[in-house]
Chain A
Amino acid sequence: MALLQIAEPGESTAPHQHRLAVGIDLGTTNSLVATVRSGLTVVLSDELGRSLLPSVVHYAADGGVEVGYGPQSRQSADPKNTIVSVKRFMGRGRNDIAHVESLPYDFVDAPGMVRLRTVAGVKSPVEVSADILKALRARAEGALGGELVGAVITVPAYFDDAQRQATKDAARLAGINVLRLLNEPTAAAIAYGLDNAAEGVYAVYDLGGGTFDISILRLSKGVFEVLAAGGDSALGGDDFDHRIFCWVIEQAKLRPLSSGDARLLLTRAREAKEYLTCHSEAPITARLSTGEMVDLTLTTAIFNEITQTLVAKTIQPIKKALRDAGLSPTEVKGVVMVGGATRMPQIQRAVGEYFRQEPLTNLDPDKVVALGAATQANLLAGNRAAGDDWLLLDVIPLSLGLETMGGLVEKVIPRNSTIPAARAQEFTTFRDGQTAMAIHVVQGERELVGDCRSLARFELRGIPPMVAGAARIRVTFQVDADGLLSVAAREQTSGVEASVTVKPSYGLSDDEIAGMLKDSLAHAKDDAFRRALKEAQVEAQRLIEAVQAAIHGDGELLSDEERRRVDSAIVNLQAAALGENRRQITLAMDDLEAETKDFAARRMDKSIRRAFAGRTVDEVEKATGGGGKA
């Protein structure tokens, strides 16, 4: 356990000290972790110098967990307990998963999210992802020699709320403080844009193993602005493998396969696909457990033919995104290609034809997302000087709506709204004395509730009894900078805060996550108590550092008396954090938060005044005092 640094109050713990932050690309196929070290953004490698970590997790009967190349190479030996492409299951029910019948897993259709039965117990995709994240965290902490302040974790831009929440939950299980969920194409644009000092409208085409994203961005000095995002969160290189797999079964007239043979053939299919990137034909040979032999040759012509519809499926979302951005293909200055699957020649050809220009393939499609995430993590951790930073304006990819009468959807926040975004909506009661009301939130573009993804159902309770139609309940939907939704409600006429219990349709409840945290500790050296205490201590330290940095920057905004009170709250918290009483730490944190509440408001005020500083006083006054004059 790391000792907490103790500083005298007033003597700040060097606010300019470099905070260890990383960017994590949690991919369907491969994951990476990168950081900014001595001004350079680098991907962190394992002890053998390999930068990728295959997103493959093996569970053994003794509870042992192995992640990466080992389990990847042995996957057909123990397919049920070797989880590949788990990202496809995040925030998804069994019915949402494509080709579920050809996957070798023992699925358990749990409410909220599908689970996988392994010899080490039933696993949620969140837990499997957490195991990948833990491996990356260990790699990073080993390489950087210290504990991480936090991480930026990337998600496909087209991930919905349930998938984003699942990713954040996985980070929590892995003990990682999430500085931000960042959209993968946006991360790529940051890396590309900063490297090439790019200005103008760019498209990022990201085809990975299991997801497809298209983002249209405007890059200008110091600002990355996403104009529109689109995609398909269930389309990627895996689907090309699957097409080959089906072709093989048909050509070789194979009988239904065992799960081990299915894995083997899928692996052969993938190898053939990758081989065809540089060759005109690929041999596919395999000996199945039934003794049958597969010996086929796949030509580029056949491959193009059987995957033509998949390629076309990526063009539709591009059209839609451009339309949303109000642009034509020729207005796009460059198309940045990201993701291993964009190496396929037919993809590069199709994209080139659509945009009528050669796509930009000069960056490493495997690493660019992690590098962009690391650059952003470094910024978010506060390691860059003001003025030497940039502004990132991203959007939500899918509209948020509410179920109305007759199963129709009313849009509340339209897709491609810049985040953070909020919208308030008023509801009323339709029965006398009604004290509760149900609300159903969905995400998607279709008109019928059944065609959209159900995000959450919740009940407003505690509405004061009134005659029908008299109550006015204002429900506020807030999407934060991670693209995550939260809901608050208030009865307007009486000012009563209606309590909201959100039942997520997908994803895990807080109790389930707490349970998993406990389970994951069953095998760890630490016990649950230690872990919780440690978490509280780390949080306390984070708060102290944040407050000290604030004082360092804007100390003059505090009166002497306030400063004394803040200092003493800091000392209190430092003392509490040294002890073993978690409750005391929490109380001391609340105390320090309370003492700095006004200070925070004043600092925000100062920032906003700074935004106005460029303008003449005259201008601002004219505007604010403008009244009704024309």
Chain B
Amino acid sequence: MDFNADHFALFGLPRAFRLDATALDVRYRELQAEVHPDRFAHAADAERRLSLQWATKANEAYQTLKKPLPRARYLLHLLGHDVGAENNTAMPADFLMEQMEWREGVAEARAARDHHELEHLHHRLRERMNASYDELAALLDDTGDHATASDRVRRLMFLEKLLSEIDEAIAALEE
């Protein structure tokens, strides 16, 4: 096994957005069971260093593939499209408008300490995102339209951020 192999290869999974989550879990554990520093606690320095590097790599690869957004970004990166960071100026006006409406809704609910409304926003946004991820899967795995896929990933980056802001607001109310 090559240390520079990509994350999909590392777990023996096909290079695609749709992924067998159970297989990923099983293989991640199989690999960690072999390379984890706990297996090398009494070994010589050289082996301990290698084990640290491999176990770190296995964790990074697993974290990247486990969640859909980093997985999509990573896949696009392998395909030669680097999505980059969130950047307002690159986004179309209608998307930015929609974003603003969402944000106003969240800000109002937060100010009113409206737990119920925040939960409602969370679920609406989740549904919207799920549909987006389905579309992304088709773009990446079926039609191979990487340019459109990159655009959808960029939008999803905004949406994921918004979702975590809603969750933080809910958490703050519960405290």
Interface residues of A (CB under 8 A from B): 19, 149-150, 179-180, 222-223, 316, 319-320, 323, 376, 379-382, 391-393, 417-422, 478, 480-481, 542-543, 545-547, 549-550, 593, 596-597, 600-601, 603-605, 607-612, 614-615, 619-620, 622-624, 626-630
B5 touches A624 (CB 8 A): yes
In the complex with contacts A420-B56, A596-B46, A604-B47, A180-B41 CB distance below 8 A: yes
B174 is an interface residue with CB less than 8 A from chain A = yes
B70 is an interface residue with CB less than 8 A from chain A = no
The residues of B that contact A418 with a CB separation of less than 8 Å are: 59, 62-63
B8 touches A478 (CB 8 A): no
Cα distance, A50 to B48, chains bound together (Å): 37
As a 0/1 sequence over residues 162 to 175 of chain B, the CB contacts with chain A under 8 angstroms (1 = contact) are 00000100010011
Which of A316, A381, A623 contacts B12 (CB under 8 A)?
Answer: A623
Cα distance, A607 to B8, chains bound together (Å): 18
Cα distance, A319 to B63, chains bound together (Å): 23
B residues 1-18 touching A (CB-CB < 8 Å):
1, 5, 8-9, 11-16
Interface pairs (12), CB distance under 8 Å: A150-B42, A391-B38, A420-B52, A420-B59, A543-B44, A546-B42, A600-B44, A608-B31, A608-B35, A612-B12, A626-B9, A626-B15
Cα distance, A542 to B42, chains bound together (Å): 8
The residues of A that contact B62 with a CB separation of less than 8 Å are: 418
Which of A320, A419, A547, A608 contacts B1 (CB under 8 A)?
Answer: A608
B37 touches A480 (CB 8 A): yes
B110 is an interface residue with CB less than 8 A from chain A = no
B100 is an interface residue with CB less than 8 A from chain A = no
* Closest Cβ neighbor of B11 among chain A residues: A623
B38 touches A392 (CB 8 A): yes
* Closest Cβ neighbor of B139 among chain A residues: A630
- Interface residues of B, CB < 8 Å — how many? 49
The residues of B that contact A319 with a CB separation of less than 8 Å are: 171, 174-175
CB of A311 to closest CB in B, whole Å = 16
B30 is an interface residue with CB less than 8 A from chain A = yes
The residues of B that contact A604 with a CB separation of less than 8 Å are: 35, 47, 50-51, 54
CB of A588 to closest CB in B, whole Å = 13
CB of A186 to closest CB in B, whole Å = 12
In the complex with contacts A596-B46, A619-B12, A622-B14, A380-B63 CB distance below 8 A: no
B1 touches A379 (CB 8 A): no
CB of A474 to closest CB in B, whole Å = 15
B90 is an interface residue with CB less than 8 A from chain A = no
B13 touches A391 (CB 8 A): no
B residues 130-150 touching A (CB-CB < 8 Å):
140-142, 144
A593 touches B12 (CB 8 A): no
B29 touches A223 (CB 8 A): yes
* Closest Cβ neighbor of A380 among chain B residues: B41
In the complex with contacts A627-B15, A630-B140, A179-B1 CB distance below 8 A: no
The residues of A that contact B37 with a CB separation of less than 8 Å are: 420, 480-481
B34 touches A608 (CB 8 A): yes
The residues of B that contact A550 with a CB separation of less than 8 Å are: 43-44, 47
The residues of B that contact A624 with a CB separation of less than 8 Å are: 5, 9, 12
Cα distance, A543 to B44, chains bound together (Å): 6
* Closest Cβ neighbor of B36 among chain A residues: A391
Cα distance, A179 to B79, chains bound together (Å): 42
The residues of B that contact A629 with a CB separation of less than 8 Å are: 15
Cα distance, A556 to B80, chains bound together (Å): 41
The residues of A that contact B50 with a CB separation of less than 8 Å are: 600-601, 604
The residues of A that contact B175 with a CB separation of less than 8 Å are: 316, 319
B99 is an interface residue with CB less than 8 A from chain A = no
Cα distance, A392 to B14, chains bound together (Å): 27
A179 touches B32 (CB 8 A): no
In the complex with contacts A623-B15, A630-B16, A630-B141, A593-B45 CB distance below 8 A: yes
CB of A280 to closest CB in B, whole Å = 33
A611 touches B31 (CB 8 A): yes
Cα distance, A622 to B51, chains bound together (Å): 26
The residues of A that contact B5 with a CB separation of less than 8 Å are: 624
* Closest Cβ neighbor of A478 among chain B residues: B56
B82 is an interface residue with CB less than 8 A from chain A = no
Known: A593-B46, A604-B50. 20 other contacts (CB 8 A): A179-B42, A180-B38, A316-B175, A319-B175, A320-B171, A380-B42, A381-B42, A392-B36, A392-B38, A422-B56, A480-B52, A481-B38, A600-B47, A604-B51, A604-B54, A610-B34, A611-B30, A623-B9, A623-B13, A626-B8
Cα distance, A474 to B113, chains bound together (Å): 43
Which of B14, B38, B45 contacts A623 (CB under 8 A)?
Answer: B14
A323 touches B12 (CB 8 A): no
Cα distance, A224 to B59, chains bound together (Å): 15
Which of B16, B34, B47, B56 contacts A421 (CB under 8 A)?
Answer: B56
Which of A421, A596, A614, A623 contacts B44 (CB under 8 A)?
Answer: A596
B55 is an interface residue with CB less than 8 A from chain A = yes
B residues 77-132 touching A (CB-CB < 8 Å):
78-79
* Closest Cβ neighbor of B2 among chain A residues: A624
In the complex with contacts A381-B41, A597-B46, A612-B1, A626-B14 CB distance below 8 A: yes
In the complex with contacts A323-B171, A600-B47, A624-B9, A478-B32 CB distance below 8 A: no
The residues of A that contact B79 with a CB separation of less than 8 Å are: 628
A614 touches B13 (CB 8 A): no
The residues of A that contact B51 with a CB separation of less than 8 Å are: 604
Which of A380, A393, A422, A547 contacts B32 (CB under 8 A)?
Answer: A393
A600 touches B46 (CB 8 A): yes
Cα distance, A149 to B41, chains bound together (Å): 11
In the complex with contacts A319-B174, A319-B175, A630-B144 CB distance below 8 A: yes
In the complex with contacts A223-B29, A481-B55, A608-B34, A546-B60 CB distance below 8 A: no
CB of B8 to closest CB in A, whole Å = 6
A614 touches B30 (CB 8 A): yes
CB of B97 to closest CB in A, whole Å = 28
A620 touches B12 (CB 8 A): yes
Cα distance, A420 to B62, chains bound together (Å): 12
In the complex with contacts A179-B42, A605-B1, A391-B29 CB distance below 8 A: yes
The residues of B that contact A381 with a CB separation of less than 8 Å are: 41-42
A179 touches B35 (CB 8 A): no
The residues of B that contact A149 with a CB separation of less than 8 Å are: 42
* Closest Cβ neighbor of B9 among chain A residues: A624
The residues of A that contact B1 with a CB separation of less than 8 Å are: 605, 608-609, 612
* Closest Cβ neighbor of A616 among chain B residues: B12
Which of A376, A393, A609, A630 contacts B142 (CB under 8 A)?
Answer: A630
A19 touches B42 (CB 8 A): yes
CB of A127 to closest CB in B, whole Å = 26
CB of A383 to closest CB in B, whole Å = 9
B33 is an interface residue with CB less than 8 A from chain A = yes
